[in-house]
Amino acid sequence: MTSATDATDPQHTRPVPAATTRLIATDLDGTLLRDDKSMSDRTIAALAAAEEAGIEVFFVTGRPARWMDVVSDHVHGHGMAICANGAAVVDLHAGGSLLKVRPLPRENALAVALALRAAAPGTSFAVELTNGIHYEPGYPPFHLDPGATVAAVEKLLHEAAPGSGTPVIKLLAHHAELSPDDFLTLARATAGDHVSITRSSPTALLEISGFGVSKASTLAQCCAERGISPAEVVAFGDMPNDVEMLTWAGTSYAMGNAHPDVVAAASGRTVANNDDGVAVVIERILAGL
């Protein structure tokens, strides 16, 4: 067993349970990826070495499956990804095929949209489906999704008959004037009893999933299927949508660039994403085997 010390703050020291680590769960943006969305050679090598040592690797992200190209070229055994903050489990080895979906009921999505529109006038919405995203005219456009339908959220969520529409992965809500944390607090107070609401963007962009759906709850399901306990998981993250996962995992690390809520939730700290903070810890874990 070795000690992992945050290079930016020596007071944050946490033993790495090398002998008991069976799974590494890592966020992507702001965590595994550098700010330019690349994955360094050091990080690629660390993930491969972890798997060679018998440790599973899961990517756990807010990204939809179709935006997993940032890591799909570098998967070895680690082709498992939990996407859309826990709403989808994806096999990257099979071209991003969906293995599990935890949808947001359309009636719940619409009720939340109407409630947020009333509580925070100026809110605009996007609807993420299993086959793509669609958004309102006032929502910041997705240049990566040129085929999106642009219409009011009521139309985007309408289906000809109950259950006939494509599953909703998540509802996104954007506000141009509120601060990100204030918008999150307001939304949770308005509709948090009916859906799960979080954020991962530096802007006031909220991600809304089915009630109880989170990175943590889906990771817990996947680990239970493999006979892996929370104590055998090491997790990494940087934004509020990682908090539940970092709290659930037996050992967790906030990146050097992490949101204060993430620092408070994690059991340890590492250096920033641009300094290969995930790789630093993995290398220490492997050194202790």
- Kindly state whether residues 6 and 88 are assigned to the same domain: yes
pLDDT of 95 reads 72
- Kindly state whether residues 92 and 67 are assigned to the same domain: yes
pLDDT of 126 reads 96
- Kindly state whether residues 113 and 233 are assigned to the same domain: no
pLDDT tens per residue across span 195-233: 999 999 999 999 999 999 999 999 999 999 999 999 999
CATH number at residue 254: 3.40.50.1000
- Kindly state whether residues 200 and 218 are assigned to the same domain: no
What ranges in 130-276 are assigned the alpha helix state H? 153-157, 180-191, 215-225, 243-248, 260-265
Percent of the chain at pLDDT > 90 equals 78
Domain extent at residue 43 = 2-102+214-287
Q: Which of 210, 230, 254 is the last residue of a domain?
A: 210
Round the average pLDDT of the chain to a whole number and report it.
Answer: 90
Q: Which of 164, 183, 210 is the last residue of a domain?
A: 210
- Kindly state whether residues 196 and 239 are assigned to the same domain: no
Cβ proximity of 277 and 271 under 8 Å: yes
Specify the 3-state DSSP secondary structure of 77.
coil
- Kindly state whether residues 98 and 110 are assigned to the same domain: no
**190 burial via Cβ count (<10 Å: 0-12, 13-18, 19+):** middle
Single pTM value for the model = 0.90
Q: What is the mean pLDDT of residues 75-92?
A: 87
- Kindly state whether residues 191 and 272 are assigned to the same domain: no
Measured from the Cβ of residue 89, the count of other Cβ atoms closer than 10 Å reads 22
Q: Which of 168, 191, 210 is the last residue of a domain?
A: 210
Residue 23 pLDDT grade (very low, low, confident, very high; cuts 50, 70, 90): very high
pLDDT tens per residue across span 239-259: 999 999 999 999 999 999 999
- Kindly state whether residues 90 and 219 are assigned to the same domain: yes
> For the chain, what is the domain count?
2
**Which residues lie below 8 Å from residue 175, measured CB to CB, with a gap of 6+?**
120, 122, 123, 124, 183, 204
pLDDT of 93 reads 79
**Which residues lie below 8 Å from residue 149, measured CB to CB, with a gap of 6+?**
134, 156
Residue 179 pLDDT grade (very low, low, confident, very high; cuts 50, 70, 90): very high
Specify the 3-state DSSP secondary structure of 233.
strand
Q: Tell me: pLDDT of 42 over 60.
A: yes
- Kindly state whether residues 96 and 222 are assigned to the same domain: yes
- Kindly state whether residues 9 and 77 are assigned to the same domain: yes
Higher-confidence position of 4 and 71:
71
CATH number at residue 176: 3.30.1240.10
- Kindly state whether residues 116 and 203 are assigned to the same domain: yes
Q: What is the mean pLDDT of residues 152-177?
A: 94
